[in-house]
């Protein structure tokens, strides 16, 4: 059972919806908003939540969850105004979906492993959308690294998957060789395509290593930022007046500082 007091939770949800309705009625900014105008703001709020999660900052996670929840309630109020649905409908539909997609909990289906649960989930989703393909549920607006990962995961559920990790690594080297060939021929459109193939195959290799490419790249980006800021802070002169060799010495110093921490 959930730890929250259910009565208090219901009171707070009702309070939030009431505040949102009041803002729609009285606030000039809130009055002007629509599904379209809120899209980019919702994406920004989601990324701020992800940042807080990566920092393991629970106070920030709480705040960013609230900001994202506000957007969900905002959308439900907009939909109610359009006589489409309300927050109750959203929550009820979600509950029904969760029960339907967890037959190993709410019915007699057996699924003892995470992999079996995922496979059942995808099959149930597909049965609900018989006129659509397996990859139709992957949003086009997803960041491309995440989209590649999700498409590969979905393809895996129907057996479209390499047998072992060595085959995946061989494919990475094959794609790199094809990229090098395109570079030799200086065919820009082909270079772009082959570069994409390399990325796609590396993401696939990451899946086999259980490495999330988005998280891995985020960590590398942060590492690069930290080391470059060290160079800026310790450079004896303007960076544009330094040689690459001089900056490389500071880069190596930055790596030593990391190790010593």
Distances (CA, A) of 62 to 1, 39, 58, 66, 216: 21, 21, 6, 6, 24
**CA–CA separation, 106 and 95 (whole Å):** 12
> Is 33 contained in some domain?
yes
Does the structure show a pLDDT above 80 at 130? no
Query: Residue 2 — pLDDT band, cuts 50, 70, 90?
Result: low
Close Cβ partners of 139 (under 8 Å, ≥ 6 residues apart) = 147
What's the chain's Rg over C-alpha atoms? 25
**Secondary structure element (H or E) that encloses residue 94, with its range:** helix 87-100
Task: Report the pLDDT value the prediction gives residue 1, as an integer from 0 to 100.
Answer: 45
**CA within 13 Å, CB half, 209:** 13
Mean per-residue pLDDT of the chain = 92
Question: Does residue 32 form part of some domain?
Answer: yes
pLDDT(28) > 80: yes
* Helices of type H across 101-243: 103-106, 114-128, 144-156, 165-184, 188-208, 213-234
Quick one: which of 192, 177, 101, 118 has its CA closest to 152? 118
Give pLDDT, residue 4.
67
**Residue 48 corresponds to which tokens in the numbers above?**
């701020």
pLDDT band at 158 (very low <50, low <70, confident <90, very high): confident
Among the residue ranges 62-76, 91-105, 110-124, the one predicted with the least confidence is 110-124
Let me know if residue 221 belongs to a domain: yes
For residues 9-35, average pLDDT: 96
What burial letters (b/e) apply to 118-142, b meaning 16+ CB within 10 Å?
eebebeebbeeeeeeebeeebeeee
Per-residue pLDDT, 172:
98
Separation of alpha carbons 170 and 51, rounded Å: 34
Of 100, 129, 153, which one is at a domain's C-terminal end? 100
Q: Which long-range contacts (CB under 8 A, 24 or more apart) does 207-214 make?
A: 207/149, 207/152, 207/153, 208/162, 208/165, 208/168, 209/165, 212/149, 213/145, 213/148, 213/149, 214/143, 214/145, 214/146, 214/149
63 inside domain: yes
pLDDT grade, residue 63 (50/70/90)?
very high
Using the predicted structure, report yes or no on whether residue 227 has a pLDDT greater than 80.
Answer: yes
The residue among 68, 100, 132 that closes a domain is 100
* Residue 139 lies inside a defined structural domain of this protein: no
Q: How far apart are CA 152 and CA 116, in angstroms?
A: 16
Of the pLDDT bands very low, low, confident and very high (cuts 50, 70, 90), residue 124 is confident
Tokens of 143: 């960041």
Q: What pLDDT band is residue 131 in, cutting at 50, 70 and 90? A: low
Q: When comparing pLDDT for 183 and 259, which is higher?
A: 183
Q: Is residue 232 part of a domain?
A: yes
Q: Is 207 within a domain?
A: no
pTM of the model: 0.69
Q: How many domains does the chain have?
A: 2
155 near 148, Cβ under 8 Å? no
Q: What percent of the chain has pLDDT over 70?
A: 96
d(CA 30, CA 14): 19
In a domain, 184, yes or no: no
Domain that holds residue 26: 6-100
Six-digit token pair at 195? 């570069």
Q: Which of 100, 134, 158 is at the close of a domain?
A: 100
Mean pLDDT within 147-172: 95
């Amino acid at each position: 059972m959930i730890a929250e007091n259910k009565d208090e939770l219901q009171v707070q949800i009702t309070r939030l919806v009431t505040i949102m309705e009041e803002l729609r009625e009285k606030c000039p900014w809130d009055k002007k908003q629509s599904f379209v105008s809120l899209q980019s703001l919702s994406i920004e709020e989601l990324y701020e939540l992800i940042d807080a999660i990566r920092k393991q900052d629970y106070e920030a996670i709480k705040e960013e969850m609230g900001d994202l929840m506000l957007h969900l309630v905002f959308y439900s109020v907009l939909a109610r105004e359009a006589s489409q649905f309300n927050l109750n409908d959203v929550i009820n539909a979600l509950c029904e979906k969760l029960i339907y997609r967890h037959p190993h909990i709410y019915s007699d289906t057996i699924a003892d492993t995470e992999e079996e649960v995922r496979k059942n989930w995808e099959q149930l989703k597909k049965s609900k959308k018989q006129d659509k393909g397996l990859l139709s549920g992957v949003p086009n607006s997803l960041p491309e690294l995440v989209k590649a990962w999700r498409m590969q995961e979905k393809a895996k559920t129907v057996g479209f998957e390499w047998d072992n990790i060595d085959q995946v690594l061989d494919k990475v080297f094959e794609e790199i060789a094809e990229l090098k060939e395109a570079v030799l021929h200086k065919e820009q459109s082909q270079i772009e395509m082959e570069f994409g193939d390399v990325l796609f195959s590396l993401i696939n290799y990451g899946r086999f290593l259980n490495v999330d490419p988005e998280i891995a790249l985020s960590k590398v980006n942060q590492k690069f930022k930290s080391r470059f800021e060290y160079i800026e802070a310790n450079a004896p002169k303007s960076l544009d007046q330094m040689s690459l060799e001089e900056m490389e010495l500071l880069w190596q110093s930055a790596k030593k500082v990391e190790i010593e921490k």
